[in-house]
Amino acid sequence: MFHNCTVSNAQGTFNFNDRKPCRAAEAVYPRTEAELVAAVASVVREKRKVKASTAYSHSFPKLACPGGDTGTIISTARLNRVVSVDAERNQITVESGMILKDLFDAAAAAGMALPNSPYFYGLTIGGLLATGAHGTSLMRKGGAVHEHVIKVRIVTPAPPSERIAGRLAIVREIGADDPDLNAAKVSLGVLGVISQVTLQLDPLFKRSLTILRKDSDADLVELVSTWGHKHEFGDMYWLPGQRKVLLGQIDRVDVSTPGDGLNQAFFPPRPISDVVRERSQEDQLQEDSAVSVTLAAVPAFISDLMRLRDRNPKAFCTLDLHLGILFRYIKGSTAYLGKTHDSVEFDLIYYRSREPGRPIMHADLIDEIEQIALCTSMLVCRIGARTGTTSSMTRPEGFRGSVSSWTSRPGSTPMASSPASGVTRFLGSMGARSFRRRDALSKGSAPVPRTLTVRRATCAARVRCTLMPGSALSRCPSDVPTYCARCEFT
């Protein structure tokens, strides 16, 4: 056990709100399930706040922070072993702290493969289940790892009826025939600490990958609706500012197919200490914002993004610099916090200021993309990524006038809540919530001028200008710098 601990992530800081690590009074590193039960019992006895954490923590939000500085962290870093392998049934049971790479190796040694996974294999099984991490696929069981979970063992506080006998923590085993598995397999880590996970795998196979470049995005609306049905693991990168598309033609092939390539183009192995050191010297923080739009609403969503691009093409350079927008296909899930419809996830990589409340260049573009998804589509925010506004202040005004264009379309009602009975029984008040339009947007209220305070490069003087909704940031007076990363909204 360690005391007076600092909790951070693999990037050295959480890119959320205050951009700072958090504190915990103590951190516990159980090596066995029995030690895990004892750790949970201890925090119940002392009435401490507690969160489970992984060896590295790759999420941007502070999901691993217990709140305040008096809580406890229970780390799964040492719960990283294979428990059992059933090659006849293509099943494997592992501890929750095992990383994906080790799972792949153990499964392959037994002639099995996890059909789909996130694009980065440094995640732990427990961590990726908590956040609903996924790859891309509409076929078979889909691209989410939690769809392959058939059993979990999770340590929770004992119910009051059992505490009379002195038991403060228990192990719950939840199998495929238990409806509570739909809550446990995507849980945000608030239901307890996962001890072991049993996965249903496939016989070992290989993937065939071909990258196709299209120098025009004119047919993107039609293409995105069909690509995921043609290729089992298909994805695509859209560079909207350049009007180009990179198509990932990825399919399952027999294990005897020649070739043993290893795709590490985006995530090459690097020591975390090097990543933290380099990023601590950068002026801005990398950010990953993501939204999921139901497949039926994707054509309208992309059409609206193209209209937004045509209003201000230069604004999209901030996305084009970082591989544009990644499209991944997600099959509808039975998990209460999973996707209830077949969807496409849109991943946006950009950078934000280290100073809370200070927007970056074209920050309003990211906000507007999220608003378009919210207003016109069935949107679900990705749990492990940051969603919401790009700063802690009121949403910027650069594309405000565009909002009236993103009207509701037939059949694009907000996504329904998860089944209340199962969620309430297991999650209490943590059930999935519907996302609804902002009242101000749905009522069609009249435009209201907003005032901007724009700092000059020297920060010695300020120029005030009033912008009507729909005007671009670059329309500030000519003597005001056009970089607008210094705009402050009042």
Quick check: 482 pLDDT over 80?
A: no
| C-alpha–C-alpha distance, residues 453 and 461, integer Å | 10
3-state secondary structure of 286: strand
Residues 6+ apart with CB under 8 A from 242: 320, 324
* Exposed / middle / buried, residue 44 (Cβ in 10 Å: 0-12, 13-18, 19+): middle
Copy the structure tokens of residue 214: 């299209």
* 8: confidence class by pLDDT, cuts 50, 70, 90: confident
Are 1-204 and 206-440 the same fold in CATH? no
Shortest CA distance to 284 belongs to which of 356, 346, 340? 356
pLDDT in tens, 240-287: 999 999 999 999 999 999 988 877 766 677 777 777 777 666 666 767
- At 374 the pLDDT is 79
Find the range with the poorest average confidence among 61-75, 333-347, 430-444.
Answer: 430-444
The full length of the chain comes to: 490
Q: What 8-state DSSP symbol labels residue 66? A: -
- At 7 the pLDDT is 78
What is the arrangement of strands in the sheet containing 379-381, beginning at the earlier edge strand? 206-214, 244-253, 235-239, 325-330, 343-353, 284-294, 379-381
Give φ, ψ of 235 to 5 degrees: -145, 180
* Domain coordinates in residue numbering, the chain: 1-204, 206-440, 450-489
Q: Which CATH fold would you assign to the domain 206-440?
A: Vanillyl-alcohol Oxidase; Chain A, domain 3 (3.40.462)
| C-alpha–C-alpha distance, residues 229 and 252, integer Å | 13
Question: Model pTM?
Answer: 0.74
* Residue range 33-55: mean pLDDT, rounded: 94
Residues 6+ apart with CB under 8 A from 159: 170
Q: Give the Cα-Cα-Cα angle 155, 97, 200 (nearest 5 degrees).
A: 85
Query: CA-CA-CA-CA torsion for 116, 121, 126, 132, nearest 10 degrees?
Result: -50
Q: Which CATH fold would you assign to the domain 1-204?
A: 3.30.465
Query: What residue has token string 């399952």?
Result: 252
pLDDT in tens, 49-105: 999 988 877 776 777 788 778 899 999 999 999 999 999 999 999 999 999 999 999
Contact 452, 464 (CB under 8 A): yes
Q: Give the Cα-Cα-Cα angle 338, 305, 390 (nearest 5 degrees).
A: 65
| C-alpha–C-alpha distance, residues 370 and 373, integer Å | 5
- At 16 the pLDDT is 53
Contact 90, 68 (CB under 8 A): no
